[in-house]
Amino acid sequence: MSGTNNPYGGGYGGQMSGTMSYGAGSAAAAPAAGLIKDTTTAGFTKDVLEESRRQPVLVDFWAPWCGPCKQLAPALEKVVNESQGRVKLVKLNIDDHPAIPGQLGIQSIPAVIAFVNGRPMDGFMGAVPESQIRQFIDKIAGPAGADQAAEIEAAIEEAQGLLAAGDTDGAAQLFAAILQADPENAKAAAGMMDCLITLGETARAKQMLESLPEEMAGQAAIQAIALKLQQIEEVRKFGDPVALEHELALNPDHHDARMKLAKILNVQGKRDEAAEHLLLVMKKDRTFDDDGARRQLLEFFETWGPKDPATISARRRLSSILFS
């Protein structure tokens, strides 16, 4: 997915920067030839023991006269090349270099031993099928894509932190790059729309929301953004907030005006002030609008997220009102 046709990015269609390396993949960047090599008794320590401290190393013990070895080798090499660097393969001819297999008690070949952190961890014998080799690698190195998933999640947290800190452009660029690697990531899509909203580009955010696949649109992160866009659309009908403040100065118990002002403040990003107005309505009249202030505050929590400081603070105060 290139920057020129990224449906999320717009002006933020650049490639991932820093340590991120999706698309090519940090492991996949290693040429396939670098994943497979022959070794000797003298090279075993460097090629296997030391290398296995970086990623698991499979050692294929074989011999030229071994028919099953010839059957296993193509399948083993194919699966290792497809593993994108999660493991490396080192081949040792036991006829030319019998000392290592003798020390390890290898009595039958083909035998494949996995080394992790300088020690033999697991292994198998015989010419097993590709599916069994893949299962073995997944067991040793973890399922394919696990590292990328963790990296993407970390990048999302970084982008969310940038947005919270006010670096909207930086957050948008990172969200766009994540979406290039994982176009159906709901959290990243929600983050990108949140950036657009923050930049005042609500029309683009709404357009992006409407273009999402149905399975993405139903996820919690996207639903929160949809609700946020609804809130923005609603407050456009409320008029000038200064006029509402004037009404409240004349009549502090004008709860409808206070509720509208709270919604406007929320859209402006003044979350603590918005919560303060709703909590004040609750203190004065829980029956107003059928407990509407509480329901509105819970809606704010949904868009703010459970970890937002405004949510945490307002939820604590809400509890004290409800259970006092």
Q: Which helix (H) or strand (E) holds 7?
A: none
Angle subtended at Cα 268 by Cα 267 and Cα 271, rounded to the nearest 5 degrees? 80
Residue type, 200: G
195 is catalytic: no
- Residues 37 and 51: beta-carbon distance below 8 Å: no
Q: Which of 27, 35, 69, 111 is catalytic?
A: 69
Q: Which of 58, 66, 196, 261 is catalytic?
A: 66
Encoded tokens for 144: 């394919």
Q: How far is CA 53 from CA 82, 117, 274, 285, in A?
A: 21, 4, 54, 65
69 is catalytic: yes
Angle subtended at Cα 262 by Cα 257 and Cα 263, rounded to the nearest 5 degrees? 100
Where are the alpha helices (H) located in 241-308, listed in sequence order? Answer: 241-250, 255-267, 271-284, 292-304
CA distance 181 to 26: 13
Active site amino acids: 66, 69
